Structure 1
Amino acid sequence: MNLRSRTAILFALLLTAPPVMADIGLSPFAGYRISSSVDVETAGASTRDQIDFRDSVSHGLVLNFDLEEPGKQGELYFGRQSTSARLDDGLFAPGMDAIDLTIYQLQFGGLYFPGGQNHGGFVSGVLGMTRLEPEDSRFETDHRLALSIGGGYQFFLTEALRLRLDLRGVYTALNSASSVFCSGGCELRFASSGYLQVEAGAGLVVRF
């Protein structure tokens, strides 16, 4: 068999072989977040206060793709929450004790089904960034490192459809003594190493 014949056979086999591709799951979700308080202080550390984030609904998108080992998946998580930040005693600006803001998370990690399936109980962990974006343009947008750990259950509906329930903790790291939502001459500084949000969510997983 000459080289041309071998090349033709190999090319034909490549065309007829099924593509090797991991299954992908796409899950839009809606949820609700509750948040811890954040300790802050004035630049001179003469007074201390707390920022309280309002508990509110959240929504987003989770993308999963199967890994080689059964029961393991890569996970990309995007979440969004419209909320407000309120100071217990102080002011962000004259006459302003609260600001509206949107909190975004973009994180990447993995998901694991202990049973080795692609449905049932699972645990997940992702790492990425939190974006704190005030609606008032006078205040600065802030980006911080964030970590999410959680678990849940995926109910098998069909081969292409799952119902996913999640409970996750989202921890956003803060640098002590860094500025807080500055507007001109910022006096407030973080006095906390971070804050925790707990999110309960539900969504449909479409696999393809």
Structure 2
Amino acid sequence: MKLRSLFTFTLAFALIAPPVAADVSLAPFAGFRMSSSVDIETAGASTSDQIDFRDSASQGLVFNFDLAEPGKQGELYFGRQSTSARLDIGLFAPGVDSIDLTIYQLQFGGLYFPGGTNHGGFVSGVFGITRLEPDDSGYETHHRAALSLGGGYQFFLTDQLRLRLDLRGVYTALNSGGSSFCSGGCELRFDSSGYLQVEAAAGLAIRF
């Protein structure tokens, strides 16, 4: 199901559903991500370079469920970003200085409302995995551990509906010395412990 179709369905359900005790929420979101650079080096040589990820739109889903203590929720976060990676100086392959890729995150953690309610200001922290998947299957896909910390505000609209605004930092750990995106013989190596992305997003949280 496309994200737009899911968003339409969940919004319609929230508006027609009868008032019931809500235990979980689903929040489709759209946002924008900005990324730091990743240092790399050429294997067996002293030359170094940087991979720059293009800032671009993101989208995904956040699933929350209420915990026993008021104001605390479990959180499952899924995010997706279509972007490109560009080398400042070198080449991924002969004649190729940039590649298109999709970045996925699947993370689990918690969310906390200091006021003890299920709306208003909140902080969140989740941990999981980042998948760096080049669109060209000739290049390697990478899976790395990732951590996200953030905060935001949920505006109360109805008993079943919240407007959710998020600002989160997503840190992806890299193995220094591990191979980077390669096609055929690999000459590029990560020379960084990780990179940071900052995501600003808005969505509608549908409570069931």
TM-score computed with the length of structure 2 as normaliser? 0.89
Q: What is the alpha-carbon distance in structure 2 between the residues aligned to residue 201 and residue 45 of structure 1?
A: 41
TM-score computed with the length of structure 1 as normaliser? 0.89
Q: What is the alpha-carbon distance in structure 2 between the residues aligned to residue 114 and residue 45 of structure 1?
A: 52
Q: What is the alpha-carbon distance in structure 2 between the residues aligned to residue 44 and residue 63 of structure 1?
A: 45
Question: 1:158: which partner in 2?
Answer: 158
For the pair 1:63 / 2:63, whether they are aligned, the reply is yes
After superposition, the C-alpha distances for 1:119-151 in whole angstroms (9 at most, x for unaligned) are: 000000000000000001110110000000000
Alignment gaps of 5+ in structure 2: 1-20
| Partners of 2:40 and 2:188 within 8 A in 1 | yes
Question: What letter corresponds to residue 58 of structure 1 in structure 2?
Answer: S
| Residue identity (%) | 82
Question: 1:131: which partner in 2?
Answer: 131
Off by >6 Å, runs of 4+ in structure 1: none
Aligned-pair CA distance for 1:184: 1.1
Root-mean-square deviation (Å): 0.9
SS, match of residue 30 in structure 1:
strand
Aligned-pair CA distance for 1:78: 0.1
Aligned-pair CA distance for 1:22: 6.8
Larger radius of gyration: 1
Between 1:162-171 and 1:37-46, the stretch displaced more is: 37-46
Q: What is the alpha-carbon distance in structure 1 between the residues aligned to residue 48 and residue 73 of structure 2?
A: 44
Question: 2:17: which partner in 1?
Answer: none
Aligned-pair CA distance for 1:46: 1.4
| Partners of 1:22 and 1:65 within 8 A in 2 | no
Q: What is the alpha-carbon distance in structure 1 between the residues aligned to residue 146 and residue 156 of structure 2?
A: 31
For the pair 1:76 / 2:62, whether they are aligned, the reply is no
Question: 2:101: which partner in 1?
Answer: 101
Q: What is the alpha-carbon distance in structure 2 between the residues aligned to residue 64 and residue 155 of structure 1?
A: 16
